[in-house]
Amino acid sequence: MGVSSAIGAIIATIGFLELSYSVLGGIIFVFVASLLIYPINKFIKAKLHWNFSGGISALIIVGLLILGFVIGYNAPESTPSTTKQSEVSQDPNKTDQQRLEDNLRQSSDKKDITYRAIDVQKADADRPADSKMITASYTVVSFYNKNSLLRDTGEISGKAFQVIFSSNLNAYDAIVWYYGETTDRYGNKNDTVVLSYAIDKPTYAKINWQSFDIKNLCDFLKQEQSINPDSGNVCIVRSVIQ
């Protein structure tokens, strides 16, 4: 195997690995590999009528590699697998609400943010009949800064919304509250809501959760609320964490 073919084989391996999180980026790498591996390159170049000089060919190949890297690097994070959540939801010995609680506990993998409780109530009168308003609450033990807290809570809330609306409880509004210990002006410690997220079913259904960046969920909900103030889409950051 020549040097060109050896390099092509390495690039092809990278391309096949990249296909798992960026299809376009992976295809570009595999295509570049095909231009380097003999005799595949001979066949491909004949089909494409590739008559470029060696220098121009090298520039094109390098440019394609850079493009592949850029596309792969900027590929959106996919929503984490819910296999374990699905397994929990199949437990026949638990009620729908108990299964939902198990899934919500799993939605937080942050050591500084822990699951707290769930509340299921009948939705407001303007909602469809028999629909529910489901509130999940978490405790914020500590956080580094406001931005990191918003990223972490956005990720947890996004996962929570998905398990709430995929449950059998007929949710129309999903709310996530984050409690934290605060100190008032008199030095008294209080357990209060410091951050809240809310989304309604129509907005939830519009989102492609496989490619949606849930870490920026708060900004998204604020934008949705500004577009339609009467919707159930809200992200409120309390002054204690500003």
Q: How confident is the model over 172-190, as pLDDT tens digits? A: 999 999 999 888 888 898 8
Choose between 81 and 210: higher pLDDT.
Answer: 210
- The sheet with strand 234-237 has its strands ordered as 113-122, 132-140, 171-183, 189-200, 234-237
Give the pLDDT score at 62.
79
Give the pLDDT score at 187.
87
Residue 199 has pLDDT above 70, yes or no: yes
Nearest of 229, 147, 230, 124 to residue 195 by alpha carbon: 147
Residue 213 has pLDDT above 60, yes or no: yes
Task: Over range 112-128, report the average pLDDT.
Answer: 92
Please, are residues 111 and 139 in contact by the beta-carbon 8 Å criterion? no
| Listed range (2-11, 36-45, 83-92, 222-231) with the worst mean pLDDT | 83-92
Task: Over range 14-37, report the average pLDDT.
Answer: 74
Q: Given the DSSP bridges, would you call strands 132-140 and 171-183 parallel, antiparallel or unpaired?
A: parallel
Task: Over range 92-101, report the average pLDDT.
Answer: 87
Give the pLDDT score at 81.
43
Type and span of the H or E element at 234: strand 234-237
Enter the pTM of the model. 0.61
